[in-house]
């Protein structure tokens, strides 16, 4: 009886006891067990020796030189041989260098991130870039007078240690965005091309209908419009349709 009254006088203890019983009933481990398991978990150590870190810095110095030279081939040569994404990355770099001219490509900081396997590591690299957007500059401004754009971001790169102790690039989200972030400049050109193609198709259909509706029938013009689409439609418009419309307008305006 005394123990029951003592329990009733300790509401905090009652709540803790009820929570423990509920956790055990639901199959959830108690808090102290979860803490013990968390302490036993081994985290991957981002281990890069001083020599390895120096080799990684040399790799990014070569990448910086390739970007300043706007050389896509030199950039691709820094990747692991046989990497499936090399061709896609090369095309993205070529588009990037067509759109932009890099004036500066500075590797501000390299921090080891994780050890993915025995020879593969991930590193976080802070890049500072200065470039000229060729599509914005256009023909109105010479390159030396074009506006210089700046970009500073941190990216995660995967690097792989080679047999000679040097490192090669294994990929990064940095390369996935190249050639795309300013690729919207091609959208207006594609839209204009689509509209022009639609207009030509509509003109061809229009002249085809007019040639089949015209009386007297002319198999020559019908065949010309159908089998020589643009040239036939243009010739029919100039030599048949326009003169006929002029005659019709002239006769309707006559007193």
Class of domain 50-181: alpha beta
Residues in contact with 90: Cβ distance below 8 Å, sequence separation at least 6, in sequence order? 72, 73, 75, 76
The pTM score is 0.53
Angle of CA points 210, 214, 215, to nearest 5°: 175
> What are the tens digits of pLDDT across the range 96-149?
888 888 999 999 999 998 889 889 999 999 999 998 887 665 544 445 556 788
Question: Are the C-beta atoms of residues 79 and 89 closer than 8 Å to each other?
Answer: yes
> What are the tens digits of pLDDT across the range 196-249?
999 999 999 999 999 998 888 888 999 999 999 889 999 999 999 999 888 888
Task: Provide the Cα torsion 85, 87, 89, 92; round to 10°.
Answer: -140
**SS3 annotation, 53-71:** HHHHHHHHHHHHHHHHCCC
* Cis peptide, bond prior to residue 216, ω within 30 of zero: yes
pLDDT of residue 187: 56
Q: Is the pLDDT of residue 10 over 70?
A: no
What mean pLDDT comes out for the span 87-99? 89
**Domain segments of the chain as ranges:** 2-39, 50-181, 188-246
Question: Are the C-beta atoms of residues 94 and 47 closer than 8 Å to each other?
Answer: no
């Amino acid at each position: 009886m005394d123990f029951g009254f003592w329990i009733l006088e300790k509401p905090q203890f009652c709540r803790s006891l009820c929570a423990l019983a509920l956790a055990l009933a639901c199959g959830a481990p108690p808090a102290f067990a979860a803490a013990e398991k968390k302490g036993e978990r081994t985290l991957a150590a981002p281990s890069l020796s001083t020599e390895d870190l120096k080799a990684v810095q040399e790799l990014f110095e070569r990448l910086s030189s390739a970007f300043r030279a706007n050389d896509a081939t030199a950039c691709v040569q820094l990747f692991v041989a046989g990497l499936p994404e090399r061709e896609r990355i090369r095309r993205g770099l070529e588009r990037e260098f067509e759109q932009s001219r890099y004036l500066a490509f500075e590797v501000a900081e390299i921090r080891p991130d994780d050890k993915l396997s025995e020879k593969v590591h991930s590193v976080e690299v802070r890049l500072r870039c200065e470039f000229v957007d060729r599509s914005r500059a256009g023909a109105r401004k010479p390159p030396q007078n074009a506006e210089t754009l700046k970009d500073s971001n941190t990216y995660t790169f995967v690097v792989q240690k080679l047999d000679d102790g040097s490192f090669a690039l294994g990929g990064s989200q940095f390369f996935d965005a190249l050639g795309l972030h300013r690729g919207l400049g091609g959208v207006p050109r594609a839209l204009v091309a689509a509209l022009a193609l639609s207009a030509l198709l509509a003109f061809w259909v229009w002249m085809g209908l007019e040639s089949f509706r015209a009386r007297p029938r002319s198999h020559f013009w019908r065949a010309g419009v159908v089998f020589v689409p643009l040239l036939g439609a243009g010739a029919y418009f100039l030599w048949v349709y326009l003169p006929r419309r002029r005659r019709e307008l002239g006769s309707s305006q006559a007193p």
